Chains A and B, each alone.
Chain A
Amino acid sequence: MKSAAAPTVFIIDDDRGMRQAIHDLVESVGLRAESFATGEEFLGRKQIGRPSCLVLDVRLPQMSGLDFQRRLTETGMQIPIIFVTAHGDIPMSVRALKSGAVEFLTKPFRDQDLLDAIQHALERDQAAQKQEAEIRDLQERYRGLTTREQEVMTLVVSGMLNKQIASEIGASEATVKVHRGHVMQKMHAGSVVDLVRMADKLKLSPCK
Chain B
Amino acid sequence: MANEDVQKTLAELSRDLEESKARLEEAQRVAHVGHWEWDLETDVVVWSDETYRIFGLSPQERPMDLAAVRAMVHPEDRESLYRGVDEDLGAGVRPDAEFRIVRPNGEVRTVHSVTPKRWSSMPGDAKRDSSGRPCKLFGTVQDITDRKRAEDALQRTQFYLSEGQRLAHMGSWASNDLGIRWSDDLGIYWSDEVYKIHGLDPQNGVPNLKQYLATIHPDDRASMAETIRVMHEQRCGCDVTKRIVRPDGEVRYVRCVGVPVFEGGIFKAFHGTTMDVTEHELLTQELRQERAYLTEAQSLTHTGSWACNLLTREIFHSSDENARLYGFDPSQGEIPFDRFYNAILAEDEVALRVKLENAIREGADYDAEFRIRRTDGAIRFLRGIGHHNPSQEIGEYVGITMDITERKRAEEEREKLRQLEADLAHINRVNMMGELAAALAHEIRQPIAASITSANACLRWLARDPPDLERARAAAARIEQDGNRAADVINHLRSFYKKGTPPERGIVDLKDIIREMTALLRKEAVRHSIRIHSELHEDLPNVLADRVQLQQVFMNLMLNAIDAMKDTGGKLTISSRLTPEGQLVVSISDTGVGLPAENTERIFDAFHTTKPQGTGMGLAITRSIVEAHGGRLWATANQEAGATFHFTLAAKSEADA
Name A's B-contacting residues (CB within 8 A). 15, 17-18, 20-22, 24-25, 27-29, 59, 86-87, 107-109, 111, 114
Closest to A29 in B: B460
Known A17-B447, A17-B482, A24-B474: A111·B453 in contact at CB below 8 Å: yes
CB neighbours of B460 from chain A (8 A)? 25, 28-29, 111
B384-425, CB < 8 A from A = none
Q: Are B471 and A17 in contact (CB under 8 A)?
A: no
- Select which of B445, B471, B481 is within 8 A of A87 by beta carbon: B445
Closest to B474 in A: A24
- Select which of A21, A27, A86 is within 8 A of B445 by beta carbon: A86
Known A20-B478, A24-B457: A108·B471 in contact at CB below 8 Å: no
- A-B pairs with the 3 shortest C-beta distances? A107-B449, A111-B456, A108-B449
* Least Cβ–Cβ distance between B478 and chain A, in angstroms: 6
Q: Are B471 and A28 in contact (CB under 8 A)?
A: yes
Q: Are B438 and A22 in contact (CB under 8 A)?
A: no
- Judge if B145 is at the interface, Cβ distance under 8 Å: no
Q: A17-B481, A107-B445 known; 20 other A-B pairs, CB under 8 Å? A: A15-B446, A17-B446, A18-B449, A18-B450, A20-B454, A21-B453, A21-B478, A22-B453, A24-B474, A24-B478, A27-B457, A27-B471, A28-B468, A59-B442, A86-B442, A86-B446, A87-B438, A87-B441, A107-B448, A107-B449
B435-467, CB < 8 A from A = 438, 441-442, 445-454, 456-457, 460-461, 464
CB neighbours of A114 from chain B (8 A)? 453
Q: Are A109 and B454 in contact (CB under 8 A)?
A: no
- Chain B binding site: helix, strand, loop or mixed by DSSP? helix
Pairs A–B under 8 Å by Cβ, sample size 28:
A15-B446, A17-B446, A17-B450, A17-B478, A17-B481, A17-B482, A18-B446, A18-B449, A18-B453, A20-B450, A20-B478, A21-B457, A24-B453, A24-B454, A24-B478, A25-B460, A28-B460, A28-B464, A29-B460, A107-B446, A107-B449, A108-B445, A108-B448, A108-B449, A108-B453, A111-B452, A111-B453, A111-B456
Q: Are B450 and A15 in contact (CB under 8 A)?
A: yes
CB neighbours of A107 from chain B (8 A)? 445-446, 448-449
- Judge if B485 is at the interface, Cβ distance under 8 Å: yes
How many Å lie between the Cα of A106 and that of B214 in the bound state? 116
- Select which of A24, A27, A86 is within 8 A of B449 by beta carbon: A86
CB neighbours of A20 from chain B (8 A)? 450, 454, 478
CB neighbours of A87 from chain B (8 A)? 438, 441-442, 445
How many Å lie between the Cα of A25 and that of B445 in the bound state? 18
CB neighbours of B447 from chain A (8 A)? 17
How many Å lie between the Cα of A158 and that of B584 in the bound state? 85
How many Å lie between the Cα of A22 and that of B153 in the bound state? 134
- Select which of A15, A25, A27, A86 is within 8 A of B456 by beta carbon: A25
Q: Are A21 and B446 in contact (CB under 8 A)?
A: no
Closest to A87 in B: B442
* Least Cβ–Cβ distance between A61 and chain B, in angstroms: 12
How many Å lie between the Cα of A87 and that of B454 in the bound state? 20
- Judge if B475 is at the interface, Cβ distance under 8 Å: yes
How many Å lie between the Cα of A196 and that of B454 in the bound state? 52
How many Å lie between the Cα of A28 and that of B474 in the bound state? 12
* Least Cβ–Cβ distance between A103 and chain B, in angstroms: 15
Q: For A28, A86, A87, which residue has the most chain B Cβ atoms within 10 angstroms?
A: A28
CB neighbours of B438 from chain A (8 A)? 87
How many Å lie between the Cα of A138 and that of B365 in the bound state? 108
* Least Cβ–Cβ distance between B448 and chain A, in angstroms: 6
B483-529, CB < 8 A from A = 485
* Least Cβ–Cβ distance between B32 and chain A, in angstroms: 133
How many Å lie between the Cα of A114 and that of B453 in the bound state? 10
How many Å lie between the Cα of A111 and that of B481 in the bound state? 19
Q: Are B461 and A28 in contact (CB under 8 A)?
A: yes
- Select which of A21, A29, A59, A86 is within 8 A of B482 by beta carbon: A21
How many Å lie between the Cα of A165 and that of B452 in the bound state? 67
* Least Cβ–Cβ distance between A113 and chain B, in angstroms: 10
* Least Cβ–Cβ distance between A79 and chain B, in angstroms: 21
* Least Cβ–Cβ distance between A54 and chain B, in angstroms: 17
CB neighbours of A25 from chain B (8 A)? 453-454, 456-457, 460
How many Å lie between the Cα of A24 and that of B475 in the bound state? 7
How many Å lie between the Cα of A114 and that of B460 in the bound state? 14
CB neighbours of B478 from chain A (8 A)? 17, 20-21, 24
* Least Cβ–Cβ distance between B484 and chain A, in angstroms: 10
Closest to B444 in A: A86
CB neighbours of B474 from chain A (8 A)? 24
Q: Are B441 and A17 in contact (CB under 8 A)?
A: no
CB neighbours of A15 from chain B (8 A)? 446, 450
Closest to A16 in B: B450
Closest to B483 in A: A17
CB neighbours of B471 from chain A (8 A)? 24, 27-28
CB neighbours of B457 from chain A (8 A)? 21, 24-25, 27-28, 111
How many Å lie between the Cα of A109 and that of B451 in the bound state? 11
Closest to B448 in A: A108
How many Å lie between the Cα of A53 and that of B513 in the bound state? 53
CB neighbours of A17 from chain B (8 A)? 446-447, 450-451, 454, 478, 481-482, 485
* Least Cβ–Cβ distance between A189 and chain B, in angstroms: 49
How many Å lie between the Cα of A24 and that of B472 in the bound state? 9
CB neighbours of A59 from chain B (8 A)? 442
CB neighbours of B450 from chain A (8 A)? 15, 17-18, 20-21
How many Å lie between the Cα of A114 and that of B4 in the bound state? 190
How many Å lie between the Cα of A67 and that of B482 in the bound state? 28
How many Å lie between the Cα of A111 and that of B452 in the bound state? 8
* Least Cβ–Cβ distance between B457 and chain A, in angstroms: 4
* Least Cβ–Cβ distance between A7 and chain B, in angstroms: 17
Closest to B482 in A: A17
How many Å lie between the Cα of A87 and that of B443 in the bound state? 10
